[in-house]
Amino acid sequence: MKTNNILLFKIKDTGIGIPEEKIKSLFDKFYQVDSSYTKKYMGAGLGLAISKQLVELMGGNIWVKSKVKEGSTFYFTLKADIPKTDMVEEYKASAESSKILKTKQNLNILLAEDDMLNSKTIIYFLKKEGHRVKHATNGIKVLSMLENETFDIILMDIQMPEMDGIEATKKIRNSDFEKFDPEIPIIALTAYAMSGDKEIFLNSGMDDYATKPVKINDLIAKINNLTDHEKKTIIPLKKTLPVDSDSKSEINGFIKATNKNPELQKELLNLFLESSQKMIKNLETAIFNNDINQVAFISHKITGIFGAIRAFSAAKYSQLLESDARSGKTDRFNNTFQYLKNLTEQINIFIKSHI
């Protein structure tokens, strides 16, 4: 037996305070009270957004009270279970609840993704789960493959050439073809994580979405949830809380995960080296020319390739560049790019030492 308890934490400062009209946006990603180029306090605007996610993952809430020129007080709650039975049995029960409910049969999955590195990485890990995966590089090929083969689910990249994921999804949902099921489950794969994007994806007919960098365990949980035809209760994946690790440790995790297939591992790492060098060069040109659309486009691609090798720490800088480009904020392009460029060079040196 356990008793549920709520713990309340309070953190108070005597700083500059926060204007009341800005408090409601304080926990949004990339939001900063002062976003000007000459701001006194630096940062990416992610700390409170991450804190909110962590607190909510543990079943709590977070909020703030503040007065300008007086300071702020942050509050958050956490649920605490007090065990009253044998600790070993409780631990076993907790461990069981963190597992993903496996699908009873292997699935036929159609992956629509135009980036080769992302594709090979996702295919590798899905096949490790026993699934069969076919690959399409744009929406037109998706429609063609659906007419000739049967699939259980589609993983649909949003940004693809010739026909993007949203258009392809709309054609699937509005189709009266007898050759494929217009209600086939579709999960969006995208580096877009801006306000309103979720609604766009779901309104186009997609059933769920996974943001890039794609976390394979989370993706598998979403796949299981949408393909559980017997409608059994899905045991949710217990999310691993982020740890304070640098890009090297994250890439080491990728290397460890692919050690059983050294040829594929080498191919993927070489693809990253080639792609990252080319993309960084193109991004530098786009910033020099103040081509905001290209900055957003290339940054989006860079986020994807970082995610493919699990370099999530590095990916947040390309996400920041894309966010700034899409919102027209160009004042910190150069600073963010220089940091991203230097970090990419360090990552490439580290990868070369392991090939």
Residue 208's closest CA among 161, 140, 155, 249? 155
CB of 168 closer than 8 Å to CB of 139: yes
Residues in the chain predicted with pLDDT less than 70, given as ranges, are 1-4, 30-46, 81-105, 176-179, 192-196, 229-246
State the average pLDDT for the chain. 79
Where do the domains of the chain lie, and which CATH numbers do they carry?
2-82 (3.30.565.10), 108-227 (3.40.50.2300), 247-352 (1.20.120.160)
323 close to 194: Cβ distance less than 8 angstroms: yes
Distance of CA 307 to the CA centre of its chain: 8
Give the residue among 296, 328, 144, 109 at the shortest CA–CA distance from 216. 109
β-pair type (208-211, 2-12): unpaired
**Contact call for residues 138 and 180 (beta carbons, < 8 A):** no
pLDDT in tens, 307-318: 888 888 888 889
Give the pLDDT confidence score for residue 4 in this predicted structure.
62
The predicted structure's pLDDT at residue 196: 63
Question: What is the predicted pLDDT for the residue at 91?
Answer: 38
pLDDT at residue number 136: 95
pLDDT of the residue at 215:
84
Which residue is it, tokens 């920041």? 320
Tell me what pLDDT residue 272 has. Answer: 92
d(CA 137, CA 160): 7
Q: For the segment 111-158, what is each residue's pLDDT rounded down to a tens digit?
A: 999 988 888 989 998 998 889 999 999 999 999 999 888 899 999 998
Sort 174 into a burial class: Cβ within 10 Å, 0-12 / 13-18 / 19+: exposed
One DSSP character per residue, 281-313 reads HHHHHHHHTT-HHHHHHHHHHHHHHHHHTT-HH
Give the CA count within 13 Å in the CB-facing half-sphere of 28: 14
Look at the pTM and tell me if it is higher than 0.85: no
